[in-house]
Amino acid sequence: MGAKKEIFIRGIGSYLPKRILTNKDLEAIVETSDEWIVSRTGIRERHIAADDEFTSDMATQAALRAIEDAKIQPREIDCIIVCSVTFDMAFPATACIVQKNLGISECPCMDLEAGCSAFVYSMEVAAGLLQLGCYKNILIIASDKLTSITDWEDRTTCVLFGDGASAVVLTTEAYGARAMLVDTLLRAYGKDCYSLMQPGGGCRHPASAETVEKRMHYLRMNGREVFKSAVRGMGAILKDIFLRNQIEPTDVQHFLPHQANMRIIEAVAETFQISLEKFLIVLHRTGNTSAGSVGIAFDDGYRNGRFAAGDTLSFITFGGGMTCATALVRWLL
Ligand code: UT7
């Protein structure tokens, strides 16, 4: 084995659908209030995909922006990974649909499901493949149409989610790179896996009149349990990645947390005594966009010039599985 290759982020992109659903709009759908949603979550509005706009369509838009940002042609992408919990279909892989949309042929395409942590999970997977020398440019896309599995009669969940996608191009080529991937750390707590799920539609409960009647094709969440697990899991994994890289939380200039709930982010900030100003927050206008959320925050920070050369960025996610992941990234440009 040769020396470990460095992994770079070459292009970044994201996409949010046009239609906006505000908390006020939700007041007309379920018994809730703008005050409750803002005070319990921080969310004010979210973007909703059109009826004929699917996970693959949002993924394609985010991918095109990341490819353009990478200053390469779509044909130079030689592997595609799509992360989601709302793939277009059980199969074919949504990554294959995106490949078709991008007009690329032959490159391997695969879907990766790791809940809201999938974006960081796929960074580690892609980095491993790049280390092996298999590929030059791997396109990672996280895209979810969560509103397609939202139970609009369940006020405990329907106020939380929105649709959107984000993408990055990873490479071993330093030339023109925007950032460097320093380290990733992934975990899962399968013992709590049923705290967040869509029980119907798989082989355990194939679609039937009964699964529809029991509303099993919608997302179900034990919010309180997930909240507690998220604060615990994110705190523990951050501590461990800091330790193994011998850095302190004060060495990090920007935290990019999963955008689920402002109170979760505040709890993590409190644990490490970090100023909230260091956290990139978009959830007030996106809601929880699942796998794509950290990438959407990343692209937002990038396009708004938040990052300076030499800055350290810390991604931190938690979600269905229950999965937990973190990545350290050094901004270069
Ligand atoms: O992306 C994957 C990761 N997901 C997450 O990280 C989500 C984690 N969980 C959460 O963010 C929070 O648990 C929620 C936002 C889902 C809920 O917040 P909470 O502070 O844990 O509220 P709760 O479930 O304890 O409910 C408090 C009260 C209940 O009423 P009672 O029993 O106290 O009378 C609920 O019925 O709030 C009520 N409630 C609502 N009221 C108005 C629940 N949803 C609503 C609503 N509007 N939409």
Active site residues: 116, 258, 288
pLDDT beneath 70, residues of the chain = 1-2
Residue with tokens 């996280």: 142
- If asked whether residues 164 and 192 sit together in one domain, one would say no
**Does 1 map to a domain?**
no
Give the number of other Cβ atoms within 10 Å of residue 115's Cβ.
26
Whether residue 322 is preceded by a cis peptide bond, meaning omega within 30 degrees of 0, is yes
What ligand 1 atom has the least distance to the C-alpha of 290? 1
d(CA 63, CA 66): 5
CA atoms within 13 A on the CB side of 116: 30
Strand partners, 53: none
For 94, the domain range is: 7-180
| Residue in 156, 234, 263, 296 to alter for ligand 1 test, most ligand atoms within 8 A of Cβ | 156
* pTM of the predicted protein model: 0.97
pLDDT tens digits along 50-65: 999 999 999 999 999 9
Q: Can you tell me whether residue 53 is helix, strand or coil?
A: coil
Compute φ and ψ for 319, nearest 5 degrees.
-175, -165
Here the tokens at position 166 are: 């984000």
d(CA 18, CA 37): 22
Here the tokens at position 311 are: 């800055």
Ligand 1 pocket residue status of 285, Cβ below 6 Å: no
Compute φ and ψ for 23, nearest 5 degrees.
-60, -35
Residue nearest to atom 43 of ligand 1 (CA): 156
Ligand 1 pocket residue status of 317, Cβ below 6 Å: no
pLDDT at 173: 94
Nearest to 41 by CA among 195, 190, 230, 192: 230
Number of domains present in the structure of the chain: 2
- If asked whether residues 204 and 159 sit together in one domain, one would say no
> How much of the chain is helix, strand and coil, in % rounded to 5?
40, 25, 35
Q: How far is the CA of 26 from the centre of ligand 1 (A)?
A: 15
Ligand 1 pocket residue status of 11, Cβ below 6 Å: no
- If asked whether residues 111 and 22 sit together in one domain, one would say yes
Q: How far is the CA of 297 from the centre of ligand 1 (A)?
A: 23
- If asked whether residues 163 and 49 sit together in one domain, one would say yes
- If asked whether residues 136 and 186 sit together in one domain, one would say no
What ligand 1 atom has the least distance to the C-alpha of 157? 16
- If asked whether residues 11 and 135 sit together in one domain, one would say yes
Here the tokens at position 144 are: 């979810």
Ligand 1 pocket residue status of 226, Cβ below 6 Å: yes
In sequence order, what DSSP letters do the residues of 142-168 get, joined into one string?
EEEEGGGG--TT-HHHHTTB-EEEEEE
pLDDT at 333: 80
CB of 275 closer than 8 Å to CB of 269:
yes
Compute φ and ψ for 329, nearest 5 degrees.
-130, 140
Residue nearest to atom 25 of ligand 1 (CA): 224
Compute φ and ψ for 51, nearest 5 degrees.
-55, -35
pLDDT tens digits along 192-240: 999 999 999 999 999 999 999 999 999 999 999 999 999 999 999 999 9
Q: How far is the CA of 41 from the centre of ligand 1 (A)?
A: 8
CATH number at residue 277: 3.40.47.10
d(CA 326, CA 119): 10
Q: Can you tell me whether residue 113 is helix, strand or coil?
A: coil
**Does 297 map to a domain?**
yes
Residue nearest to atom 16 of ligand 1 (CA): 223
Q: How far is the CA of 220 from the centre of ligand 1 (A)?
A: 12
Residue nearest to atom 48 of ligand 1 (CA): 155
Ligand 1 pocket residue status of 40, Cβ below 6 Å: yes
- Among 180, 207, 239, where does a domain finish? 180
Q: Which ranges in 21-104 belong to alpha helices (H)? A: 23-27, 34-41, 55-69, 94-102
**Does 146 map to a domain?**
yes
Residue with tokens 């029980």: 199
pLDDT at 2: 60
Q: How far is the CA of 224 from the centre of ligand 1 (A)?
A: 7
pLDDT at 205: 98
Nearest to 155 by CA among 69, 26, 58, 281: 26
Q: How far is the CA of 40 from the centre of ligand 1 (A)?
A: 7
pLDDT at 3: 73
